[in-house]
Amino acid sequence: MTGSVEDSTHLNDNINVEFATPEKQEARAFLRERFLRVITGIVGKQAEFYLYENTQVSAQFRGCDVDCLEVFVRNLETPLGTIPEAVLRASDIIYLNIHDINKE
């Protein structure tokens, strides 16, 4: 190979510069802040979770992990009974519905 370490570093710098433009950083920060506001705004709300295999459960939303891979709930109502506290895998959730989201 004829490429030097400096050429490789220069190529990586160009890629990183495009990814980290001020406009893109600002857009990511805005979207991240909006996402965090939504998550904190629904903590404590009753939610219906629609899962695969045509399963529907409901529970009080308590939060999620930093990667949003796990959803923490309280009083999970399933077809087999109620579970006081549970963790749902985000990959199992198709969508969740929260009624009256604007009410305190």
pLDDT band at 70 (very low <50, low <70, confident <90, very high): very high
Distance CA 80, CA 53 (A): 15
Beta bridge partners of 96: 49
Tokens of 84: 């006081």
Beta bridge partners of 72: 63, 87
State if pTM tops 0.75. Answer: no
**Residue 102: predicted pLDDT:** 77
Q: What is the 3-state secondary structure (H, E, C) of 28-58?
A: HHHHHHHHHHHHHHHCCCEEEEEECCCEEEE
Q: Domains for the chain: give ranges and CATH numbers.
A: 42-96 (2.30.30.100)
- Counting residues of the chain whose pLDDT is more than 90, the rounded percentage is 68
